[in-house]
Amino acid sequence: MTEPFEPKLVTTDWNEEWKAMQAARKHPDDPTEWNARAKTFPTSHGPQSTYVDRFLQLAGIRPGETVFDMGCGTGALATPLAEAGHHVIAADFSSGMLEKMRAEQGRRGINPNLVRIVQMSWSDDWAAHGVTDGCADVAVASRSIATFDLKDSLLRLTRAARRRVCITLPCSVSPRIDARLLRAAGLQRRLGSDFVYAFNILAAEGVAPEVAYIPSKRYESFDSLAEAQDSLADIVRSAARNRVDAPELDRACERVRAWVADNLVENPRAGEVDHHGVEQKRYRLRESRQITWAFLAWDAQALD
């Protein structure tokens, strides 16, 4: 068992602690994984999700402004922005995500000249892909910052924008980890609110970012109790691996299985299509999982 990394949130070098935290996480993001996940990703936001509406409201993008959307995914922001007449540079490292976005925009009849699609990652040479300093009025990164060097990524975004930068980061270690499961497993929840690192890195650069919060609820659904127990125990196993020894991890997963049995109920929306375009299954947990995103925005000229 390797020694786990526990962020202290009292560092004086926030970017170095961020790097250590990223290195300790399971594995870096892989475009192959995201290509596969693109199959079940939504291409637009539905009535169950207010995230996109709230992000765009907070972003304050003005009529006629151009937007650089880094980590655009399947176009949750890029597509409605293009529909509103904005020119958008939509960048992502996953070809599967970009292909799905392109297909959806074609289905909606969006003028392809409004969206320039770029396949690149946070660590690529952006200029070589035509993403240069001041290439857009506003730069955004929505739920897409999973980079090794956070300071470099924030500075790159800022240089790409002429007026404003807007990002969201989770108010937790990861939106993939359900804190309820860790409590049920008897495991201590790790520190490490991602947005705190971005805020403090920017503050050290002399920037005072605006901060707001976007709450969202999420229900996972399952065909059976066994499926729910296996799926949710796997989340705990992944989150706690290398933090506890194997016997304790097995006991933690058994506690989660018992908790799931007590909290799984019939899904009143079974058979309906969720905002991911996926048909909901027969069961879900009694209470929804709350995910809160921190919205940070700042003046692109603040770092000049």
Q: What is the residue extent of each domain of the chain? A: 14-175+191-219+291-303, 220-287
What secondary structure letter does DSSP report for 42? -
- pLDDT-based confidence at 46, cuts 50/70/90? very low
| Span 81-118, pLDDT tens digits | 999 999 999 999 999 999 999 999 999 999 999 999 99
Share of the chain above pLDDT 70, in %: 84
Q: Is the pLDDT of residue 157 over 50?
A: yes
Bridge-based pairing state of the strands 221-222 and 283-285? antiparallel
User: Tokens 């990703």 — which residue?
Assistant: 41
- pLDDT-based confidence at 48, cuts 50/70/90? very low
The number of angstroms, rounded, from the C-alpha of 205 to the middle of its chain's C-alpha atoms is: 24
Give me the pLDDT at residue 279, please: 86
Mean pLDDT value across residues 168-180? 79
Give me the pLDDT at residue 38, please: 44
Residue 2, H or E segment: none
- pLDDT-based confidence at 10, cuts 50/70/90? low
Give me the pLDDT at residue 44, please: 53
Share of the chain above pLDDT 90, in %: 62
Q: Is the pLDDT of residue 184 over 60?
A: yes
Contact by Cβ (8 Å): 267, 281 = yes
Give me the pLDDT at residue 196, please: 93
- pLDDT-based confidence at 23, cuts 50/70/90? confident
Which residues are CB-contacts of 48 (< 8 A; sequence separation ≥ 6)?
A: 274, 275
- C-alpha closest to that of 205 among 160, 142, 152: 152
Give me the pLDDT at residue 186, please: 86
Contact by Cβ (8 Å): 98, 35 = no
Contact by Cβ (8 Å): 186, 248 = no
Bridge-based pairing state of the strands 115-119 and 88-92? parallel
Q: Return the bridge partners of 165, or none.
A: 139, 298
Contact by Cβ (8 Å): 142, 171 = no
Give me the pLDDT at residue 220, please: 86
Mean pLDDT value across residues 180-204? 83
Least confident of 138-142, 277-281, 287-291: 277-281
Q: How far apart are CA 235 and CA 26, in angstroms?
A: 12
Instruction: Answer whether 0.75 is exceeded by the pTM.
Output: yes
Domain 14-175+191-219+291-303 of CATH type 3.40.640.10:
no
Q: How far apart are CA 263 and CA 258, in angstroms?
A: 9
